[in-house]
Amino acid sequence: MLKYIAYTSVFFYMFSINVRAQVLVGADIYIDKGAEMYIEAANTTFDQANIITDRSNNYGLVAFGPDAQWSNADHNAHVNGYTRMFNEEAFSFPSGHDNIFQPLRITRINQHTIVDIAYSHIGHSNLTAEIGIEKVSDEFYWTAFGDDPAYVSLSWNSFSNIDKLTDNNLDRLGIAGYDGTVWRIIEAGLDSAHFEDNSNVSLLSGSITSKNPVFLEGYDAFTLVAVSAENILKISQGFTPNGDGINDTWYIENIENYPNAKIYVYSRWDREVYTSLGNYQNDWNGIYKNNQEPVPDGSYAYVIDLDGDDEMDLAGWIYVTR
């Protein structure tokens, strides 16, 4: 059985591991700015050691190949910096920061592009949030770089202080994505068990997953938030207008509480494809504005003016697929 064993700290300026059996990380490994450690091995085992990457703009990274997986990551052993996934349908990132292990899971709906993730156990520099978010976690966030839509699962542990974030009420827990200006709600639901170790979900440990594919290109980062209990708009991140009677229209929960809301939907090329100037009935079925042609499958930007005063209150992305 072929292994790569790191017994001393190694500085990587350009390095590739192409073994296909196992990689055992037995001592800290450092990957410098702009360098990539590409792993094709079937399993990388963390043994009380970290892989540390440069976190600057031209960051270093650990890249797991299409069939590569990992095991044994914990608070003492993980990737402290950027991890890249290739064409796996689903991948849990062994992400951490210093002595905190905090995985994130990406589940693809297609396999066209790579995704880079890094965890930071500090508050984001901008905690400004849209209506419906009462508090953004000031404890941690994940930086994310990707293109195509995918389901996003975030985790928490005893270091995350979820009890303080949600006032001991897990029903208030939600996911938010940072669009470069503000944090925006992503419709999500608590997992029945933690995706990383199948443990029970509680205030001390658990995970939560977006209910629809998230347009990764629309967000720079993800974190956990406390959502408002009253009049919160739960905006579907996607729908499937294929006529099967299930999820055929774009649904915005509680939109009836905002009868003057103006809603606009745009293509990625800024073409307006749908408009509602009040009393939206949750009935848009993916048909172009002013004709009966269906919009192509893909990602669309939405803007919502809740009070009809021509001031944008909410914005985000939805994904249409048949």
Say how far apart CA 117 and CA 134 lie, in whole Å.
26
Confidence at residue 109, expressed as pLDDT on a 0 to 100 scale: 81
Rounded to a whole number of angstroms, the CA Rg of the chain reads 21
Residues sharing a CB contact under 8 Å with residue 279, sequence separation 6 or more, in sequence order: 259
Positive or negative, the CA dihedral 202, 204, 207, 211 is positive
Q: In what order do the strands lie in the sheet with 11-12?
A: 11-12, 29-31, 51-53, 79-80, 95-97, 100-101
Please report, in tens digits, the pLDDT of each residue of the chain (322 residues total).
233 433 333 444 444 445 456 788 888 999 999 999 999 888 999 998 999 999 999 999 999 988 899 999 999 999 999 999 987 789 999 999 999 999 999 998 877 678 999 999 999 999 999 888 999 999 999 999 998 889 999 999 999 999 999 999 998 999 999 999 999 999 899 999 999 888 899 999 999 999 889 989 899 999 999 987 655 678 898 999 998 999 999 999 889 988 999 999 999 888 999 999 999 999 999 999 878 899 999 999 999 998 888 888 888 899 999 8
Confirm if 28 and 10 have CB atoms less than 8 A apart.
Answer: no
Residues 114-137 as b or e (16 or more Cβ within 10 Å = b): ebbbbbbbeebeebebbbbbbbbb
Q: Is the pTM of this model over 0.95?
A: no
With contact defined as beta carbons under 8 Å apart, do 184 and 130 qualify? yes
Q: State phi, psi for 164 to the nearest 5 degrees.
A: -70, -40
